[in-house]
């Protein structure tokens, strides 16, 4: 008889599925969806069902021992060393950098390889305590949106509770593609909703195709679209004057702009027909209406302004604080449960002097800053594979070839980034240690349960950093808190009325029995306590005082917008090394409409050069006639080292910063497409 163990998927994914592991002596684990989990409902997504039973259990594919570089950086030639040797070398190199250049010359980059709380947050304690510099993680993903929601509502991590959809008449999905990035939410929550679904996306995603209405603006034109919708909503008398008066600040400053954004003007700016605009406005006006704003939406050069403009809809129509309303960017579920993530990450550690010297740099500057040998002397990447996911790949690779840059990389697998390390440290997988997981859409917390021993000599991230701290003879006690006390401490902060063992038995908990009301009290965490439509803070930051109806210019001179969003077959760049998923994903393809293909002089199946000022890559043409003019599509998540061409779309990803948050504008990338 197999043993059945409940655990949860800790990937950076909206779904946060429950997992059931079947364990039988002498046989591979069977990783299945938990039938009792409200999101998974007995099934994992098509990528994890394969990868968790494939590459994640392939011992040969995993890193099992610490390694020291034995060839040139990038070659991937390593010799096995002991943990003792690895830790001694890291400690002495870090100490030398600190003595000669200060701890701020140590730069770490990290993100969401795993979101389980200990493995994701605890290692930051080490870097904060010593005063190291950090690549601001959100600048590769969603920093523009965070700044925008903060300016408007004072929060970016408190969205609607998805359960409130039972009371909604319409659900707007703006610039997210749940059919890829949240597959269970797409299938059960969205497609099963009684509400009318409106998807706003330049691409006809499967979610858009299944929606009641697909609004297809040109990329980067959403702020104009939002103002055009507001014009229609105002004309329909759908503004909530009482709500505006009581809970918003500065609405009068946008009213004349809204009046000027006529349907005809909006159609010209966005490519959305006036009839579609009206239909969308009618559906939002019918209310109660929910608004889900994706992270793809703000990966445009004016992405912050886009979010601020779209965020006006709930405020001006009063679709907030009541059942079936609200907006969602992300939900910081552990914080709702009372878990202190600042404490877990050691935000309060380190001296004031160190803190003042430690730098926070944008991913958009990483390649150039790292290529300057005077600034950073050591580089540590953990929970991330920047040589697949970051912009400006050619320059970043060149910088990481620096012989004087001591580089340490932690991962479960050998990746493009580990190939550039001096020391590689093997990380245990989510099946190999206990932790707490969470959902950032549904208000879920779950147990990550240890199913098997760490493979080879691999260790969880948090243990690796405890050992580095020991090797450096650091004394801060918070660096040595063990997993059991950290988990117990978090359970105490949360206080659900049972302990971690019970959480393991239950698998997951959905916070609250009923939908949690967000902003029902009309209190907002802005300076004024109101929704700041006009913002003095924005002005101080050098931004417009109010959102503006901007639309990016359509590309000129034969250039094309290249959107590179979530692939159905990858989770960011995780699982790209699974051979079965490589077959499913097919060859690296750039999708174009037949009109656009003809204009470029290329046909379906042809190999083409896709190029811009940042790089050139070779792709195969696919035809998709649902794509708008001057827009191309290619999915993210491939490892250059696995591709025959040795490159991926991030060789084209120009590190242009968004208007807010110094974040990526990757979906604003422009390219030329030419026959080879």
Ligand X SMILES: Nc1nc2c(c(=O)[nH]1)N[C@H]1C(S)=C(S)[C@@H](COP(=O)(O)OP(=O)(O)OC[C@H]3O[C@@H](n4cnc5c(=O)[nH]c(N)nc54)[C@H](O)[C@@H]3O)O[C@H]1N2
Regarding 44 and contact with ligand X (CB under 6 A), the answer is no
Regarding 182 and contact with Mo ion (CB under 5 A), the answer is no
Count each helix (H run) and each strand (E run) in the chain, helices first.
27, 27
List all residues 6 or more positions away from 245 whose beta carbon is below 8 Å from its beta carbon: none
In the list 5, 6, 7, 15, the residue contacting ligand SF4 (rule: CB under 6 A) is 15
Regarding 185 and contact with ligand X (CB under 6 A), the answer is no
Regarding 198 and contact with ligand X (CB under 6 A), the answer is no
Regarding 196 and contact with ligand X (CB under 6 A), the answer is no
In the list 161, 222, 483, 670, the residue contacting ligand X (rule: CB under 6 A) is 222
Regarding 385 and contact with ligand X (CB under 6 A), the answer is yes
Residues in the chain, overall count: 676
d(CA 349, CA 479): 10
Regarding 413 and contact with ligand X (CB under 6 A), the answer is yes
d(CA 481, CA 463): 10
What is the separation of C-alpha 101 from the centre of its chain, rounded to a whole number of angstroms? 33
Regarding 382 and contact with ligand X (CB under 6 A), the answer is yes
Shortest Å, Cβ 569 to ligand X: 7
Regarding 17 and contact with ligand SF4 (CB under 6 A), the answer is yes
Regarding 650 and contact with ligand X (CB under 6 A), the answer is yes
Q: Pick the closer one to ligand X by CB: 227 or 239.
A: 227
d(CA 224, CA 119): 41
Regarding 416 and contact with ligand SF4 (CB under 6 A), the answer is no
d(CA 31, CA 36): 15
Q: State the binding string over 47-86 for ligand SF4 (x if CB under 6 A, else -).
A: -x--------------------------------------
- Binding range to ligand X, per CB under 6 A, among 226-234, 248-256, 380-388, 471-479: 380-388
Question: Do residues 123 and 487 touch, judged by C-beta distance below 8 A?
Answer: no
**Residue ranges in 119-178 that form contacts with Mo ion under rule CB under 5 A:** 141
Regarding 31 and contact with ligand SF4 (CB under 6 A), the answer is no
Regarding 297 and contact with ligand X (CB under 6 A), the answer is yes
Total residues binding ligand SF4 (CB under 6 A) = 12
DSSP 158-226: ----GGGGGG-SEEEEES--HHHHSHHIIIIIITT-SSEEEEE-SS--HHHHHSSEEE-PPTT-HHHHH
CA-based nearest residue to 69, from 425, 413, 384, 381 = 425
Tell me the three-class secondary structure of 99-147, residue by residue. Answer: HHHCHHHEEEEECCCCCCHHHHHCCHHHHHHHCCEEECHHHHCCHHHHH
Structure letter (DSSP) for residue 454: P
- Binding range to ligand SF4, per CB under 6 A, among 11-19, 71-79, 264-272, 581-589: 11-19
d(CA 69, CA 193): 53
Binding footprint of ligand SF4 on the chain (CB under 6 A) = 9, 11, 13, 15-17, 44-45, 48, 183-184, 571
Binding footprint of Mo ion on the chain (CB under 5 A) = 141
Binding footprint of ligand X on the chain (CB under 6 A) = 12-13, 111-114, 119, 140-142, 174-177, 180-181, 200-203, 205, 217, 219-220, 222, 294-297, 300, 382-386, 388-389, 410-413, 415, 427, 461, 563-568, 570-574, 636-637, 649-650, 653, 666-667
């Amino acid at each position: 008889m197999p043993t059945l163990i409940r655990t949860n998927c800790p990937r950076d994914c909206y779904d946060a599925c429950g997992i059931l592991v079947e364990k039988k002596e002498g046989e591979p684990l069977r990783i299945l969806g938990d039938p009792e989990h409200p999101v998974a409902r007995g099934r994992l997504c098509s990528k994890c069902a394969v990868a968790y039973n494939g590459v994640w259990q392939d011992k040969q594919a995993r890193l099992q021992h610490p390694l020291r570089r034995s060839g040139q950086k990038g070659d991937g030639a390593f010799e096995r060393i002991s943990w003792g040797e690895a830790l001694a070398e890291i400690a002495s190199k870090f100490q030398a950098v600190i003595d000669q250049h200060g701890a701020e010359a140590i730069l770490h980059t990290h993100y969401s390889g795993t979101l389980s709380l200990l493995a994701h947050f605890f290692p930051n304690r080490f870097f904060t305590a010593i005063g190291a510099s950090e690549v601001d993680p959100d600048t590769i993903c969603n920093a523009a949106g965070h700044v925008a929601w903060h300016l408007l509502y004072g929060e970016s991590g408190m969205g609607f509770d998805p359960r409130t959809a039972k009371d909604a008449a319409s659900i707007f999905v703006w610039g997210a593609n749940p059919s890829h990035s949240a597959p269970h939410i797409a299938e059960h929550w969205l497609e099963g909703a009684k509400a009318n679904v409106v998807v706003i996306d330049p691409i006809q995603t499967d979610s858009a195709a299944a929606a009641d209405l697909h609004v297809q603006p040109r990329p980067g034109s959403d702020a104009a679209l939002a103002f055009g919708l507001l014009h229609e909503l105002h004309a329909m008398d759908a503004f909530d004057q009482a709500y505006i008066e009581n809970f918003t600040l500065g609405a009068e400053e946008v009213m004349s702009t809204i009046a000027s954004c006529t349907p005809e003007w909006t159609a010209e700016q966005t490519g959305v027909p006036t009839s579609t605009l009206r239909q969308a406005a009618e559906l939002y006006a019918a209310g109660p209406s929910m608004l889900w704003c994706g992270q793809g939406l703000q990966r445009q050069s004016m992405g912050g302004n886009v979010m601020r403009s779209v965020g006006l809809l709930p405020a001006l129509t009063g679709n907030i604080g009541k059942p079936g309303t609200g907006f969602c960017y992300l939900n910081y579920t552990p914080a709702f449960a009372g878990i202190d993530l600042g404490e877990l990450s050691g935000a309060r550690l380190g001296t004031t002097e160190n803190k003042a010297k430690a730098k926070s740099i944008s991913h958009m500057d990483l390649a150039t800053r790292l290529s300057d040998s005077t600034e950073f002397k050591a580089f540590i990447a953990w929970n991330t594979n920047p040589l697949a996911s970051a912009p400006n790949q050619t320059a970043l690779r060149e910088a990481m070839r620096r012989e004087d840059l001591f580089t340490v990389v932690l991962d479960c697998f050998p990746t493009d980034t580990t190939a550039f390390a001096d020391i590689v440290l093997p990380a245990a997988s989510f099946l190999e240690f206990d932790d707490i997981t969470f959902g950032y859409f549904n208000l879920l917390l779950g147990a990550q349960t240890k199913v098997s021993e760490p493979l080879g000599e691999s260790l969880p991230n948090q243990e690796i950093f405890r050992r580095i701290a020991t090797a450096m003879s650091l004394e801060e006690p918070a660096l040595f808190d063990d997993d059991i006390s950290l988990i117990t401490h978090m359970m105490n902060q949360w206080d659900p009325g049972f302990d971690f063992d019970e959480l393991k038995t239950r698998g997951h908990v959905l916070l609250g029995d009923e939908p949690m009301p967000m902003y029902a009290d009309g209190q907002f965490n802005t300076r004024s306590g109101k929704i700041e439509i006009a913002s003095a803070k924005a002005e101080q930051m050098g931004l417009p005082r109010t959102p503006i109806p901007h639309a990016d210019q359509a590309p000129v001179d034969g250039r094309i917008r290249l959107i590179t969003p979530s692939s159905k077959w990858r989770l960011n760049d995780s699982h790209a090394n699974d051979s079965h998923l490589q077959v499913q994903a097919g060859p690296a393809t750039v999708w174009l409409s037949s009109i656009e293909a003809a204009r470029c002089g290329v046909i379906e199946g042809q190999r083409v050069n896709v190029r811009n000022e940042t790089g050139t890559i070779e792709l195969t043409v696919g035809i998709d006639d649902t794509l708008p003019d001057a827009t191309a599509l290619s999915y993210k998540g491939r490892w250059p080292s696995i591709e025959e061409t040795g490159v991926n779309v991030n060789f084209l990803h120009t590190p242009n910063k968004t208007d807010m948050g110094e974040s990526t504008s990757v979906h604003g990338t422009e390219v030329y497409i030419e026959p080879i």
